[in-house]
Every structure is written in structure tokens, then in C-alpha cells.
Structure 1
């Protein structure tokens, strides 16, 4: 599930609630037989308040993969699972605190 090149850096952000969200996305992806980026993008796009979803894809393969989210409709119970595990989570950007806020 994790890349080896920056595993140490990534591990610092994958604790607490952030780690549980990533694990839940991985669980949903495995259950549906799709990739984690597809689940993440489909989950974001399932929210009517979202007007644009931006992918961090760097390669043609990654773009092709994440484009699969356009045809992926997540079941309501999976959206609820992801919404529940991420409830109250926010990232502070461009501020003094660059860690994920966690309400735990």
C-alpha cells in the first residue's frame, strides 16, 4: 500500500485519523477491485458541495488509472464508511501547523 521511496516521510502523516482514512480507502478499493486513487476521487466527487476534484497524478498511467473514477459509483454504505472515518478531519494549509488536525 505504501511506496518505499518516501515511506519514512509518509509514515509521519499516516498516524491517527489520517491513517484510518487511508486504511478505509484501501479496504473499499480491495472490496470493489479498483485502485485507491479511483476510490479517493470517486468519494470526493460523490459530494455535491465539491465543484472540482484535482488529482495529483504525475504519469500517463496514473492519469489513466484515476480517470477510472469517472465511471465508479460508490455504494452509499461505502461513502458513509469513508465519511464517518474522516469526520472532523481537516488539513491546515499555508499555516504554522502542517500536520493533520485530529479530533481524537
Structure 2
């Protein structure tokens, strides 16, 4: 092989290796960009899932609180009605007792 031919092959091999390195770098950049995009999409998806879970949890907690509040109010209303009836009956007895005492003190 002639010296010129060897040098030409070396230059050709160098050019091919530079092109292969350049192509590998471009592929690397594309893969990094794709991975970054995928990671951002995963993060967004996870944030959406977390927000949905939070919203559902808050809605359930609010519903539970409203149900508990309603139960307490109903129980309180029953107690008030019961106490009111009891107080009304006792009031009538108290009025009768006071009238008897008053009449007794008038005749004494």
C-alpha cells in the first residue's frame, strides 16, 4: 500500500469515528431530553394523583364531620325535648305546691 493510500484510509477512519462520536452525542442528548420529559410527566401525574387523593380525603372528612355534627345536634334536640317535657311537668307541680303553701299561710 502506498503511503498516500494509508493516509487517506486513516483520514477516512478518523472522519468516520468523528461522525460516530457526533452521532452518539446526539443520541445521548435525545435520550436525556426524552428521559427528562418522561420524568416531568411522571411528576405531573403523581402531583395530580396526590391532589385527587387530597381532595377526596378532605371531602370525606368534611362529610364525616357533617354527619357527626348532625348526630350531635339530633341527640341534643332529643335531650332538650325530654328536659323540656320534664321541666313542664315539674313546673305544674311546683305551681300547685306554691299555691298550697300560699293558701296555707293565708289561713294560718
The answer to whether TM tops 0.5 is no
Which structure shows the bigger proportion of residues in helix conformation?
Answer: 2
Q: Which has the larger radius of gyration?
A: 2
Where relative contact order (Cα < 8 A, 6+ residues apart) is larger, the structure is: 1
TM-score, normalised to structure 2's length?
A: 0.18
